[in-house]
Amino acid sequence: MAQSTTATLELQLRRRRQIRWQRWLGLSVPVLIALVVIVSGLLADVLQTHDPEFIDLAARLSPPVFDGGTWAHPLGTDELGRDIYSRLLHGARVSLIVVAIVVPGAALFGTLIGLVSGWAGGMTGQILMRIVDVQLALPAILFAVLMASLVGPSLTNVIVILLIWTWPSYSRLVRADVLSLRERDFVTASRSVGAGPWWIMRKHLLPNVLNTIVIIMTLEVALVVLAEAALSFLSVGVPPGTSSWGRMISEGRDTMNVAWWPIWLPGLTLLIISLTGNLMGDWLRDALDPRLRNVR
């Protein structure tokens, strides 16, 4: 009797260990990919085999090594003979810079607006939420084209546009959270003993919405990477002479029917990266806050 109980217990334990193992595997693959991208972005200058913008017409459209090419260009070259492997590395750097500025920046600003509009309510809250509506009614891509045509395409442009594009998603969710938090006992109690609005926001509201913010930030990474690529694809993103995945796709378009690699490799890279971002976001959301499952 005692023996069989120990046996079932052991079986249960083993199954639980197995589930945990699977869950960690599901997380570790995306984390590994993310690390690879970060390292290749940071060390692009060291890891590159060629200058990413060096034009070598003699070597134009050479195939990748697994499709009959040589190790001189491991992932082949594009229609101007530029090395695709080196360009992908530098494309990772552009994406990394954009994500590193846009995601925390939008989170900071969006959270602040969400906190204030949720807490203040009334007129202030209404006005702030109408600003969010304005942003929703103005397709960001059009705004990007407008800015690019006025001041020329640049990385700064991309960052500004994407900041404008992404902050409202934080505001809306934070505001919704704050609206319900402000009626809770610990907040009203704090108010009744004379706590000021900033103190309450910092000590009671912010810690309670932090989970939401972190989850949206993770999910926004993929969105921002894709958006940067879309802008560069429309040639209103990074300027010519900069390697960006979106730009590479747009350039590979012309030789699409003679060479698959100039358009497939950056496209697949984009797909894998945004897949990674989404998987990590989903994992984090399930771990921290199952309530948010229907956000997107």
In the complex, the residues that contact other proteins under the rule CB under 8 A are 130, 133-134, 136-142, 145-147, 149-151, 222, 226, 229-230, 233-234, 246, 249, 253, 256-257, 263, 267, 270-272, 274-275, 277-279, 293-294, 296
The whole-angstrom distance between residue 124's C-alpha and the CA centroid of its chain comes to: 30
Minimum gap (Å) between residue 270 Cβ and other proteins: 5
Give the whole-angstrom CA distance, residue 74 versus residue 87: 12
Q: Which of these, 80, 82, 59, lies nearest to 255 by C-alpha position?
A: 80
Minimum gap (Å) between residue 149 Cβ and other proteins: 5
Q: Which is nearer to other proteins, 20 or 293 (CB)?
A: 293
Minimum gap (Å) between residue 166 Cβ and other proteins: 13
The DSSP output letter for 201 is I
Minimum gap (Å) between residue 132 Cβ and other proteins: 10
Q: Which is nearer to other proteins, 25 or 134 (CB)?
A: 134
Tokens encoding 125:
């809250």
Tokens encoding 109:
């600003």
Q: Which is nearer to other proteins, 48 or 117 (CB)?
A: 117
Minimum gap (Å) between residue 190 Cβ and other proteins: 26
Q: Which is nearer to other proteins, 208 or 235 (CB)?
A: 235
- For residue 197, what are the contacts with CB-CB under 8 A and spacing of at least 6? 119
* Half-sphere exposure (Cβ direction) of 149: Cα atoms closer than 13 Å: 7
Q: Which is nearer to other proteins, 55 or 256 (CB)?
A: 256
Q: SS3 for 53?
A: coil
- For residue 127, what are the contacts with CB-CB under 8 A and spacing of at least 6? none
